[in-house]
């Protein structure tokens, strides 16, 4: 999979821009606050319809403008695609080959991307919410049905929490409606959980292989899915049975507190290096190596699931890695994936790759391309 052309209009500090990417490695070079990350972000938004930096679409639209537009020409194994995303104050519209897509699940997955930014190095040490979001964004690209199940789960959870609060405050007394919402929550939540468990198992397989190479076979990495319910099996049916029983067991407590205590929205990941919890006992180096292994593992996992390598976005991450980790990162991606990299200096890649990059000099939203 490759992005051959990118067009921006009224996107952040880019009034109008057209770029073509004939080569596999593309470097956006420039000082900070010039627009390098905005370019990377636009590719991410084109793929996933939302930003990794903000939840407000208004921030993506140029100052004093009413809309922003991102277009991309994608080359896949068997076809070429034109993707288009229009962002307005009223919402967003997505098109594939000029045909509007009404469902998010029919758009996401056309362009698969993996983003690696400095904050991803805190994947291990960060909050459970960070790790849940990581799973949702990556799994959603591989499996569009998961996105639908997750959206339905989140919507039902919101309704259930609202009704629990009303029961808690004695504004409602009828628990039959709570039964209906609970059954719906369990239906979608069981599917979400089953998909996540399978994803984590595959992620562990690819991550451990990379982690072993990076540490010269000194460390073994394990990834555990920490569910908020006591799982006895991994099928949808087995999860459904346990999930429903646990919610019924906690019913009075949930009504008293006005909140749903159990479910995928409360789950987490546990990373273990040589059987020790790296989140708690690992050094900063081990935590960074684990995060790097997990992010790089996504490349092969996505290839296995979709049949094509994704596009890799590296946002100033090279400066956060020491020389050995930089080399492992570059060796992993070389001749494998199309890569877009932002940096303030070329020292991190000079002499470490055989692939010749295209360099785009970025200054105050203006781009000058230099082929090496």
List, as residue ranges, the binding site for ATP. Answer: 30-37
CA proximity to 310, closest of 328, 297, 325? 297
In angstroms, the CA 81 to CA 88 distance is 23
Quick count: other Cβ atoms within 10 Å of Cβ 130?
Answer: 16
Residue 57 and residue 10 in contact, taking contact as beta carbons nearer than 8 Å: no
In angstroms, the CA 109 to CA 296 distance is 19
Q: By CB neighbour count within 10 A (0-12 exposed, 13-18 middle, 19+ buried), where does 4 fall?
A: middle
Token digits of residue 189: 């939540």
User: Phi/psi at 81 (nearest 5 deg)?
Assistant: -125, 145
CA proximity to 288, closest of 114, 120, 53, 116? 120
**93 bridge partner residues:** 86
In angstroms, the CA 21 to CA 14 distance is 18
Contacts of 14 (CB under 8 A, 6+ apart): 8, 35, 38, 39, 42, 62, 365
Dihedral angle of Cα 85, 87, 91, 96, to the nearest 10 degrees: -10
Question: CA dist 235 to 9, 191, 196, 204, Å?
Answer: 46, 9, 11, 19
Q: DSSP alpha helices (H): ranges in 2-116? A: 36-48
- DSSP annotation of 356 reads P
**14 bridge partner residues:** 11
User: Phi/psi at 129 (nearest 5 deg)?
Assistant: -60, -40
Binding-site members are 30-37
Block residue for tokens 């695609």: 81
Calculate the CA 165 to chain-centre distance: 32
Block residue for tokens 């369990």: 186
Contacts of 277 (CB under 8 A, 6+ apart): 270, 271
């Amino acid at each position: 999979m490759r992005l051959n052309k990118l067009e921006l209009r009224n996107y952040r500090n880019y009034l109008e821009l057209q770029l073509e990417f004939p080569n596999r490695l593309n470097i956006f070079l420039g000082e900070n606050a010039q627009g390098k990350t905005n370019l990377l972000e636009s590719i991410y938004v084109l793929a996933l319809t939302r930003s990794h930096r903000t939840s407000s679409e208004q921030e993506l639209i140029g100052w004093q403008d009413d809309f922003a537009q991102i277009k991309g020409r994608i080359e896949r194994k068997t076809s070429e695609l034109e993707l288009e995303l229009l962002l307005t104050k009223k919402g967003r519209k997505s098109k594939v080959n000029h045909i509007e897509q009404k469902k998010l699940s029919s758009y996401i997955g056309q362009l698969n991307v993996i983003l690696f930014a400095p904050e991803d190095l805190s994947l291990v040490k960060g909050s459970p919410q960070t790790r849940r979001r990581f799973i949702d964004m990556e799994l959603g690209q591989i499996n569009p049905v998961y996105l639908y199940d997750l959206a339905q789960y989140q919507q039902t959870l919101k309704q259930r929490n609202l009704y629990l609060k009303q029961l808690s405050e004695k504004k409602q007394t009828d628990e039959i409606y709570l039964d209906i919402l609970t059954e719906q929550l369990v239906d979608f939540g069981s599917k979400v959980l089953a998909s996540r468990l399978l994803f984590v198992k595959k992620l562990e397989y690819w991550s451990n292989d990379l982690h072993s190479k990076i540490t010269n076979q000194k460390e073994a990495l394990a990834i555990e899915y920490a569910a908020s319910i006591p799982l006895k099996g991994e099928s949808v049916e087995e999860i459904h049975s346990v999930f429903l029983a646990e919610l019924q067991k906690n019913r009075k407590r949930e009504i008293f507190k006005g909140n749903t205590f159990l479910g995928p929205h409360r789950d987490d990941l546990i990373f273990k290096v040589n059987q020790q919890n790296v989140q708690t006992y690992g050094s900063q180096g081990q935590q960074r190596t684990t995060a790097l292994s997990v992010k790089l593992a996504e490349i092969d996992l996505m290839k296995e699931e979709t049949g094509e390598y994704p596009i890799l976005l590296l946002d100033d991450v090279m400066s956060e890695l020491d020389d050995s980790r930089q080399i492992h990162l570059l060796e992993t991606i070389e001749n494998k994936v199309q890569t877009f990299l932002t940096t303030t200096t070329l020292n991190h890649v000079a002499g470490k790759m055989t692939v010749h990059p295209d360099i785009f000099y970025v200054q105050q939203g203006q781009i000058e391309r230099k082929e090496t």
